[in-house]
Amino acid sequence: MDSLLETDLRRLDGELNRLLGDDALFLETLRSSAEVRILDLACGACDEAGVLARRIAQLRGEQTPEEGPGIRFTGMDLRAREIGWARDRFRGDGTTVYEFLEGDARRLDGHLQLPEQFDLVFMRHQNLWNGRRVWEEIYHKALEKLSPGGRLVITSYFDREHEQALAAIQAQGGKLLVTHRNPLSRELPTPGKSVDRHLAVLEKAG
């Protein structure tokens, strides 16, 4: 039987497939990139790393072994312990190269090894309510790092926090493509809070 974590990730994967699988421009971006780059900001222990990389690999379609790994996944969080767990857990395979960085998502430019742009920037359970100023800066960096045709995907625990995050990202030049209430989201003990309760896909406004 699945653990709660596995069930949550399976449901997240299903929602991502639904939201991104019909996004013709994004699919074109994935298929035309020699190396698809994923940036997972404030990822904690990055539980979703494998699911996300596999989903993007599937949306992108078959690669020949000669074409190499094809997916580069970078996760970042302030918390060293969680980043250490992610490093131990996701060690790379034929499809994906993983790297996990301890650091401040507002200071991405200090990490010289980071690519200039990413095709997908992901933030699971963005945390605007934990510090508006900090999170506005993280949203700004997330948009700055998006490639043309790239997508910013966020998930949120709460209805109102999600609305406020979307308003803040749009105020910084994000264009909302779709927002969706996850019908299978698992309720948590705090009233009104549930896992990946909302998901949204944005792009950088033209």
Ligand X SMILES: C[S@@+](CC[C@H](N)C(=O)[O-])C[C@H]1O[C@@H](n2cnc3c(N)ncnc32)[C@H](O)[C@@H]1O
> Where on the chain is the footprint of ligand X (CB under 6 A)?
42-44, 76-79, 104-106, 124-125, 127, 134, 138
> Which of 1, 2, 14, 3 shows the shortest CA–CA distance to 196?
14
In the bound state with ligand X, the residue whose beta carbon lies nearer, of 43 and 71, is 43
Least distance between ligand X and beta carbon 79 (Å): 4
In the bound state with ligand X, the residue whose beta carbon lies nearer, of 36 and 105, is 105
CA distance 71 to 112: 19
Q: 75: part of which helix (H) or strand (E)? A: strand 71-77
In the bound state with ligand X, the residue whose beta carbon lies nearer, of 41 and 70, is 41
Least distance between ligand X and beta carbon 110 (Å): 12
In the bound state with ligand X, the residue whose beta carbon lies nearer, of 52 and 69, is 52
Least distance between ligand X and beta carbon 48 (Å): 7
- Give me the count of residues in the chain: 206
Please give the full DSSP string across 32-55, using - where no structure is assigned.
Answer: H-SSEEEEEET-TT-TTHHHHHHH
CA distance 180 to 183: 9
In the bound state with ligand X, the residue whose beta carbon lies nearer, of 69 and 98, is 98
Name the token pair of 140.
Answer: 């700004």
Name the token pair of 7.
Answer: 């069930």
> Which of 52, 44, 124 shows the shortest CA–CA distance to 84?
44
In the bound state with ligand X, the residue whose beta carbon lies nearer, of 68 and 84, is 84
Within the chain, residue ranges assigned H as helices are 4-20, 24-32, 49-60, 80-89, 132-144, 159-171
Least distance between ligand X and beta carbon 94 (Å): 26
Least distance between ligand X and beta carbon 77 (Å): 5
Amino acid at 58: Q
Least distance between ligand X and beta carbon 73 (Å): 14
